[in-house]
Homo-oligomer: A and B are copies of this chain.
Amino acid sequence: MTDSPMTAPSAPSASAGEVLSGYLTTQAGAFLRALPQAVGEAGSRPGSLPASAAGADDLLRAVRRIGGALHTFGAAFEPGWTGELRTELAWLLDLLGREPGYRRRSSRLLAALDSLSDTGSESPGMLAGHAGAPKARALLERQLTLARTRTHTALLQELRTARLHALADRMTLLSGEVPLLDEVAGRGGGALVQHAAGALGALAAAAERLPLARAAEPYGGDGLHRLAVLPAARSASPSDADALLAADDEPWHRVRVLAKRARYALEVCGVPTAELDRLDAVLDRHRDASDAAATASTAARTPRITPATAYVLGVVHADQRLEVEAARYAFGHQWPKLPHHGWHEWATV
């Protein structure tokens, strides 16, 4: 499964309305195909198909793209319709994102633990043979499996509610006809580029506000020793390290959302997105490491764990915060090389 655009390249002569309709009907179709796989047929009859993670992932991808297009090209649609649909898509996006989040945390943390405690003579880790490593692994696996199972059950329940059926009905309508405003729909496809440039501009503005200078040098150690003095971090209690870390990461998570939105906007316009794909991958890595670090920190507060287990979780927490640092460093080196300084001029094409 790749993240390449699922739309056919639009003809150069296509109108803005034709391009948007083509994109949205394609994505709505993907939504409707993925939905039954995501819901499964559990409980209906013996031999019924189980709810599939791949189906939920496909559903998530379609929801992200439709939501992104409605946001970036909102001026092309009837405002009331867009607002309602975006609310419902945001609700589903949140629901769908939870289980994959636990899946990623689980695979990342268990892989880190296995690597750190590897006793292979070729490349042993710094926790090789440590008594706390298998205990910490079992603890993390148990807690994450439980969280994942709960989330999965909650998702399946929501996917069978009237709210989801109403959203599916909207997608059926969208796959047939997109309610475009005439004054936009009739314009050339170039009109869309202005909106996409707006999405790129929002990304650029947010990225430039990141503390990139702090991430420019490797091993600044700031992620461990000195958190950013961002306004977002100031509201957190100075004695709650988890809240401070979350506040420190928040502007980066925000840039991640804007990068995805810009990527989908370029997809709509049929513009290559390879550079934004790479940026998005780095920001995904940042988010995953941040989530994994928080999970290790939370697990270390489990009552009655042994000191050895807690020690290993401390190493894992620091290791994942180091990954956060590394992702910021990678972002800081990719970002200035992107042609984003031309994005504002691009908007005037």
Bound Cα distance A223, B303 (Å):
31
Q: Which of the listed residues A112, A221, A318 has the most CB atoms from chain B within 10 Å of its own CB?
A: A318
B129→A240 contact, CB < 8 A: yes
Chain B neighbourhood of A173, CB < 8 A: none
Bound complex: CA A237 to CA B120 (Å): 10
Residue of B nearest to A333 (CB): B218
A128 within 8 A of B: yes
Considering the chains assembled together, what is the distance between the CA atoms of A312 and B128 in angstroms? 19
A:300-349 near B, CB below 8 Å: 300, 305-319, 321-323, 325-326, 329
Q: How far is the CA of A120 from the CA of B229 in the complex (A)?
A: 10
- CB of A123 closer than 8 Å to a CB of B: yes
On chain A, the number of residues with a Cβ less than 8 Å from chain B's Cβ atoms is 56
Q: Assess whether A226 is in contact with B125, with CB atoms less than 8 Å apart.
A: yes
Residue of B nearest to A245 (CB): B126
> Which residues of the other chain, B, contact A240 by a CB distance below 8 angstroms?
128-129
Cross-chain pairs A/B with CB under 8 angstroms, 15 sampled: A124-B227, A125-B224, A125-B227, A125-B241, A126-B227, A129-B241, A219-B323, A219-B329, A300-B311, A310-B311, A313-B314, A315-B317, A317-B318, A318-B322, A322-B322
Task: List A residues at the B interface (Cβ < 8 Å).
Answer: 112, 115-116, 118-130, 218-219, 221, 223-227, 229, 233-234, 237-241, 244-245, 300, 305-319, 321-323, 325-326, 329
Question: In whole angstroms, how far apart are the Cα atoms of A308 and B309 in the complex?
Answer: 10
Number of copies: 2
User: B residues within 8 A CB of A318?
Assistant: 126, 314-315, 317-319, 322
Extra pairs beyond A128-B240, A224-B319, A318-B319 (16, CB < 8 Å): A116-B225, A121-B238, A125-B224, A125-B226, A125-B241, A126-B227, A130-B241, A219-B325, A219-B329, A221-B326, A300-B307, A307-B307, A310-B310, A310-B311, A315-B317, A318-B322
B119 and A238 within 8 A (CB): yes
Contact of A123 among B127, B226, B323 (CB under 8 A): B226
A236 → B minimal CB distance (Å):
8
